[in-house]
Amino acid sequence: MSVAFAGSSTTSPSRGAGPLRVMIVDDSVVIRGLISRWIGAEHDMEVAASLRTGLEAVNQLERINPDVAVLDIEMPDLDGLSALPKLLAKKRDLVIIMASTLTRRNAEISFKALSLGAADYIPKPESTREASAADIFHHDLIQKIRHLGARLRRKPAVASPPLAPAVHAPPAREPAARPATLAPAALAAHATSSLSLTTRPFSAQAPKVLLIGSSTGGPQALMALVTELGPVIDRFPVLITQHMPPTFTTILAEHLARTSRRPAHEAVDGEPVKAGRIYLAPGGRHMRVVRNGADTAIALDDGPAVNFCKPAVDPLFTSAIDIWHGGILAVILTGMGSDGMRGGKDIVAAGGSVIAQDEASSVVWGMPGAAANAGICAAILPLTQIGAKVNRLFAGDRS
């Protein structure tokens, strides 16, 4: 995976401390009305504009000067994917959240949008008449606007370049080229955290499995990380929970397979867990591991959300303890909330180790920050250093 540097563009004016200004761009009057009401009810954000097409958004961007744009994919005149680079060319640090219904085509487009500089994506419900679906959409959208917008305001105005799209890799097994950086548009120049965090020693036990949890910013981080994990994947199982809906996890698994040049797929209930493969929790179901005779197997769970998420990281982390005991290395990457922290505590109590992504390289330092502040981490590292550290630990390093 390589990095495509954007051309010259304007920078935004200095940011004030007022409410986040949100531009809603969607051809559905119902969706625009819903989002406008939700934003209007929040004390820390306001509707800067409600527009019907991407063309209107591009033409009026300088006048509106939003902090965040919620951008539909399918619109007349100029669709969301076509409008995205035009908006970022005018305002590089604009936080763009792509919104789409759950189809394979829209999932592919959302991943393409991430590669072009979108900060995140959100699935829209098929029908806003379904109360539970609308409630989830409401909760997730407001949280994404708030956390990504807050991240933006803590950064300098000029953003780092977005990731280039993952390329189709040849069948050879050589390690892929290391990405120079990972940042989407919302991830600007690195900042130094003022927190003084305590770490603990790594486990004296050799790791036997790699577990990874991630959320907001996770797809980009995962694809950057797996390019460096070939030696680990070849000899040990790798299990990943990324907060993501159905269909999107299907596409993510395909991207991980191409990027890592190793087998990667959505986990299937009852299948054996083997070295040499990446197992991704499917959207809408929790992934656990269980004993199946002398083997270890995947167990998918259709139970309630955990930490407001389904799939959630904690069920994977805690279930792994009964299988691998202290031989677990868990990595918690960028994401909102605190999912993974409780499971990480259990892993450490059982003798395993936890690595968290640092604040500066995270799109949102919620999940890794919760683990770091809980004092359970053996290391808190930039994304660009995690792969090398994981390789050393699986090769025998214990420090």
Which residues are annotated as catalytic? 215, 243, 339
Task: Take residue 16 and report the two structure tokens written for it.
Answer: 């004030």
Sign of CA dihedral 294, 296, 302, 304: positive
CA atoms within 13 A on the CB side of 22: 29
> Which candidate, 156, 9, 1, places its Cα nearest to that of 85?
9
At residue 344, what is the residue type? G
Q: How far apart are CA 201 and CA 41, in angstroms?
A: 46
> Which candidate, 250, 209, 199, 256, places its Cα nearest to that of 232?
209
Cβ neighbourhood burial of 8 (10 Å; 0-12, 13-18, 19+) = exposed
At residue 64, what is the residue type? I
> Which candidate, 79, 81, 76, 83, places its Cα nearest to that of 108?
81
Please report which helix (H) or strand (E) contains residue 357, including its range: strand 353-357
Q: Are 93 and 119 in contact (CB under 8 A)?
A: no
Q: How far apart are CA 205 and CA 313, in angstroms?
A: 22
What value, to the nearest 5°, has the Cα angle with vertex 73 and ends 67 and 76?
A: 105
Which phi and psi (to 5°) does residue 160 adopt? Answer: -75, 160
What value, to the nearest 5°, has the Cα angle with vertex 149 and ends 144 and 154?
A: 135
**Which residues does 168 contact at the CB level (< 8 Å), separation at least 6?**
258
